[in-house]
Structure 1
Amino acid sequence: MPRWKPDARERLIVAALDLFVEQGYDNTTVAEISTRAGLTRSTFFRHFPDKREILAAGQEALSRLLAEGIDSAPADATPMAAVAAGLERASGTMTSFNRELGPMLRAAIEANEELRNREALKSIGMAAAMTDALTRREVAEPAAQVAAEIGVLAFKRGYARWADPARDADPGELATHTRAAFDELRAAAAELR
């Protein structure tokens, strides 16, 4: 077996999610994940410090992309337009691999309280990154927090629709779904007045 296969990280993620769904998160070991992926334990630890981190894979990158999109929005963009730019930036990086993971990821998270808590922390991290980016644009903190939370919810709703296996075989781009979810949430927020 070659030492450094280029898709090792992705193989580990898929193997872990398969095992989490099949036998539960708590009953799955790093050794089993490595074996299922056709890799060694040392390769696993080159990519992840522990099995919990598999579910946070990409969290930092996603938060960074959301913030970069907000940072790159035109100077005169409203806070909501800046969040929309962040959603476009982050959504544009998602591939079919990310879509295929959706159902497995959802099943694993729903079956384990620790993973549900970790998912909540991921959402908090995304919102914090967007809030920080908005405050750098001199948006008042309460408005920045509200806009960021709507952005997180839009991303989650859009991703859930995009990754839903019951939907079309070709769901198009994730950005289409996050944009639609964002527009729905903006309209819902306007009704709260």
Structure 2
Amino acid sequence: MARWQPGTRERLQAVSLRLFAEQGFERTTVAEIAAAAEVTERTFFRHFADKREVLFAGQEDFVAMFLDPVRTAPADTPTIELVSRALEGTAAFFPDERRAWSRRRQPIIDSEPSLRERELGKLATLTVRIGEALRERGVEEPGATLAAETAVTVFHLSFQQWIAPDEDRSLQAIARERLDALTALVTPSQNGRTGRS
């Protein structure tokens, strides 16, 4: 019985990640990736516009995982609950089986200035899109922008923890922990002081 092989797109991603880690992102060519994946360069470009897209593919799906829960929430949902719902949407995009890929991907991003810039741009775009979705629901400024920034900050911090070497909790659980910690900072405690016991 023939051994199961992943699809071409997945194989290209796996090979690219290995070569980027071994040789560096800039020193790895599309020709090398295609050869190692046993496909033509033309096949590579059918799946990815360039080698950066191997690391950043799925941008619209990534944004949608935040926006869909916001857009489909009941009309009277409080803004902080909309943030919570947006963060809960990350569970589908970042299941536990994706953690190993994300752990291998991040050092490649961190080692290359142009990739770090692209990653920051992705998060900035996400912030803008969440803000737009909140304003469409009637959330006024500055609340919409603050809530959008909060969602992206909590996500970013949670993701960094999720890919930490010894971490095994779900991204959703980590995000909930961080959002709860933030909420505690701005919620008056029993003695009337914000964020203090």
Q: What is the CA–CA distance in structure 2 between the aligned matches of 1:18 and 1:189, rounded to whole Å?
A: 44
Aligned to 1:12: 12
Q: Provide the alpha-carbon RMSD of the alignment.
A: 2.0
Residues 1:142 and 2:139 aligned together: no
Deviation sequence 1:91-140 (CA, Å, 0-9, x none): 23322342112222211011110001000011011112211111111111
Deviation at 1:12, TM superposition (A): 1.9
Aligned to 2:154: 154
Equivalent pair of 2:158/2:171 in contact (CA under 8 Å): yes
SS in 1 for 2:89: helix
Equivalent pair of 2:48/2:54 in contact (CA under 8 Å): yes
Deviation at 1:142, TM superposition (A): 2.3
Q: TM-score, normalised by structure 1?
A: 0.85
Aligned to 1:85: 85
Equivalent pair of 2:131/2:144 in contact (CA under 8 Å): yes
Q: What is the CA–CA distance in structure 1 between the aligned matches of 2:18 and 2:125, rounded to whole Å?
A: 26
Equivalent pair of 1:19/1:28 in contact (CA under 8 Å): yes
Q: What is the CA–CA distance in structure 2 between the aligned matches of 1:71 and 1:97, rounded to whole Å?
A: 27
Q: What is the CA–CA distance in structure 2 between the aligned matches of 1:121 and 1:184, rounded to whole Å?
A: 26
The 4+ residue runs of structure 1 with deviation greater than 6 A are none
Aligned to 1:185: 182
Question: 5+ unaligned residues in a row in structure 1: which ranges?
Answer: none
SS in 2 for 1:76: coil
Indicate how the Cα distance of structure 1 residues 157 and 38 shifts in structure 2: closer, same or farther if over 3 A, else same.
farther
Equivalent pair of 1:102/1:164 in contact (CA under 8 Å): no
Indicate how the Cα distance of structure 1 residues 93 and 116 shifts in structure 2: closer, same or farther if over 3 A, else same.
closer
Q: Work out which of the two has the higher radius of gyration on C-alpha atoms and give 1 or 2.
A: 2
The correspondence of residues 27-106 of structure 1 with structure 2, limited to 5 A, is 27-106=27-106
Equivalent pair of 2:96/2:170 in contact (CA under 8 Å): no
Letter in structure 2 aligned against 1:138: G
Letter in structure 2 aligned against 1:163: I
- How many pairs are equivalent? 185
Question: 5+ unaligned residues in a row in structure 2: which ranges?
Answer: 188-193
Which structure exhibits the higher relative contact order, with contacts defined as CA atoms closer than 8 Å and separated by 6 or more residues?
1
2:172 to 175, 181, 184: 175
Letter in structure 1 aligned against 2:74: P
Q: Percent identity?
A: 36
Equivalent pair of 1:127/1:149 in contact (CA under 8 Å): yes
SS in 2 for 1:43: helix
